[in-house]
Amino acid sequence: MLKITEQYIPKGNKNRPAHPMSPKYITIHDTGNASKGAGAKNHAIYAGRGVNEVGYHFVVDDKNIYQLLPLTENAWHAGDGGSGTGNRQSIAIEICENPESNRTTAEKNAQQLAAYLMKKYGIPTSNIKQHHDWNGKNCPHIIRARKNGWNDFIAAIKKEYEALVNPSPTKPSTGGKIEKGDIVHFAGGKVYASSTATAATSTRGASKCKVTATALDAKHPFHCISEDGKGVYGWVDAAAIEQNGEAAPVQPVNRYRAGRKIAISNASLYASSTAKNAARKLSGTYYLYDGKAFSGRYRITPRADWVGKTPIAGYVTGYIGQADSPPH
């Protein structure tokens, strides 16, 4: 997401009512200004003048996000009255529609911003509203004019949110996996006595080799023996192995897979993935219950045969942070 630039409307302006707010909704608007130059920065400047009572928390274009009000204060933006839910409990996001701004990118920035706010305040997607929902105005009119426009917009926010709370692990190479028994080409280089050795025992030239063992999460992942009498016998780097003329891809080991044994020491144990305070400290040997990260935390269970069993409450000890769950 782009950096958020704070440029608050001055206190005392009529478009900064300063009523306390605890955000429960997010409201999406179009600026309604298709003039050249009507980007986020100029909207922020205009709002700061306090020409009228209309205000909003964020204004977004294809390059910038400006925040104009603290999220602990309301704004007059929803048109549902002085005590209306839209005006008093929702964060307002305005999307620019000036011709020199890339609208697709501007909407994506708004989607990322909405996902960030959902995570920060625990706002569900059902509480992301159109301006139209509060007072019937045709806003955000550009999104509403597209077939399935609003549904597609919400789906994109959900996708951004999922990426925030459950970031995908680095994907392994899609190339062919080197396995024990494969015949490969060793391009030449250092040979080691073990997969974790720091110093090489020899240096050998190019050779046709057989892979006799693998340790894919190690520094030197392949144990090779020459098939052509060239003297290779030991562990070698992945970069030195070629398969079909290309360096051999190494499939990363999923270090946080379900059932992985972990040793923890004085780790903070949480009752849920969102609990702010730890329930207690925990030490001992445990197992990852399902290998899934929830807000950076993993569920654990004390027995290997309890992995993945349901009901969850009957088998899960609690949640620990990734930093507290180094796998064996």
Return d(Cα 223, Cα 198) in angstroms, integer: 15
pLDDT at site 275: 85
pLDDT tens across 266-304, in order?
888 988 888 888 889 988 888 888 888 887 788 999 998
Give pLDDT tens digits for 198-241: 899 999 988 898 999 988 778 888 999 998 888 999 999 888 88
Quote the tokens at residue 189. Answer: 């280089």
Q: Report pLDDT digits (tens) over 246-269.
A: 444 444 445 567 888 888 888 889
Choose between 328 and 258: higher pLDDT: 258
Kindly report which listed range (9-18, 82-91, 143-152, 186-195) carries the lowest average pLDDT score. 186-195
Q: What percent of the chain has pLDDT over 90?
A: 57
Confidence of residue 162 (pLDDT cuts 50, 70, 90): confident
> What is the identity of the amino acid at 163?
A
List the single range of 13-17, 72-76, 122-126, 181-185 with lowest mean pLDDT. 181-185
Q: How far apart are CA 218 and CA 73, in angstroms?
A: 53
Query: What pLDDT band is residue 243 in, cutting at 50, 70 and 90?
Result: low
Looking at every residue in the chain, the average pLDDT score rounds to 87
User: Is 323 a residue whose pLDDT tops 60?
Assistant: yes
Strand partners, 288: 300
Q: Which of 99, 158, 100 is closest to 124 using CA atoms? A: 158
Assess whether pLDDT exceeds 50 at residue 43: yes
Of 140, 123, 118, nearest in space to 131 by CA: 140
DSSP for 290-320 reads: EEEEETTEEEEES-GGGTT-SSHHHH--EEE
Kindly report, residue by residue over 132-142, the tens digit of the pLDDT. 999 999 999 99
